[in-house]
Amino acid sequence: MINVTVWNEYRHELKDEKVKDVYPEGIHGQIASFLSEENIKDKTATLDEPEHGLTEEVLNNTDVLIWWGHLAHHEVSDEIVDRVHNRILEGMGFIPLHSAHFSKVFKKLMGTSCDLKWREDDLGCTIWNVNPSHPITEGVGEFIHLEQEEMYGEHFDIPAPDELIFITGYPNQEVFRGGLTYRRGNGKIFYFQPGHETYPTYYNEQVQLVIKNAIKWAAPKKNIRPVYGHFENK
């Protein structure tokens, strides 16, 4: 059993009727709903809960943390950012989705601005699988087509990824590195681009499969964590 926490700032759904119509239970609620079908034990957490729902106890019992944020990156406390960051270095998997590229946690992990080009024009995109033998793409097929998705474009100011999994193409010829993996410390990270709040992206079965595969990939294995510090010569 993999223990997953789905974190969402949960602001758009409370302020914007258009978003609430698409995600009446919140983006976190929709993601949690399709995870319950797998060998996954999930819980949700949101920004306005005490400690943003990410207490020491919650994080210590989380194998993989999924993160969605947009309006309120600046409201996430630095103490919680450091707490999450440390757990990732210890081995917790981390899956930032869509605009979580600008989250404090992801920017701390990357060490760059994580900036990019963007545009909302109600057009679609094609997410091309460029790493078909990778566990994250298992069963996904050659591409995912979304009828509507926000355009994200290069240059994406991130370090060169360990692995490039998806490249997204748009009708006006923009392209974007839309699926990337990293390792930081003992933790594994998968950034996945689709998921604009006004579009039903998280109802798409291929998108759901990518996220479920990524959870299995990012979950910590039963490896012994290295011991650091002074080492006695025996």
Q: What is the CATH number of the domain that holds 70?
A: 3.40.50.880
- pLDDT for 144 equals 98
Classify residue 141: in a domain, yes or no: no
- pLDDT for 173 equals 94
- pLDDT for 51 equals 96
- pLDDT for 39 equals 82
Classify residue 202: in a domain, yes or no: yes
Classify residue 167: in a domain, yes or no: no
- pLDDT for 233 equals 75
DSSP assignment letter at 181: E
Written as one letter, the residue type at 149 is E
Burial readout 135-162 (b: 16 or more C-beta within 10 A, e: otherwise): ebbeebeebbebeebbbbbeebebeebe
What is the rounded distance in angstroms from the CA atom of residue 208 to the CA atom of residue 220? Answer: 20
DSSP assignment letter at 221: P
What is the rounded distance in angstroms from the CA atom of residue 12 to the CA atom of residue 176? Answer: 25
Classify residue 84: in a domain, yes or no: yes
104 half-sphere exposure, CB direction, 13 A CA radius: 16
- pLDDT for 62 equals 97
- When divided into structural domains, the chain yields a total of 1
Which stretches of the chain drop beneath a pLDDT of 70? 223-224, 234
Classify residue 140: in a domain, yes or no: no
Classify residue 170: in a domain, yes or no: no
Report the predicted TM-score, pTM, of the whole model to 2 decimal places. Answer: 0.95
pLDDT digits over 115-132, tens only? 999 999 999 999 999 999
Classify residue 144: in a domain, yes or no: no
Classify residue 92: in a domain, yes or no: yes
92 half-sphere exposure, CB direction, 13 A CA radius: 23
State the DSSP H helix or E strand holding residue 68, giving kind and residue range, or none if neither. strand 64-68
How do strand 2-8 and strand 40-46 relate by DSSP bridges? parallel
Range of the domain at 7: 2-111+178-218
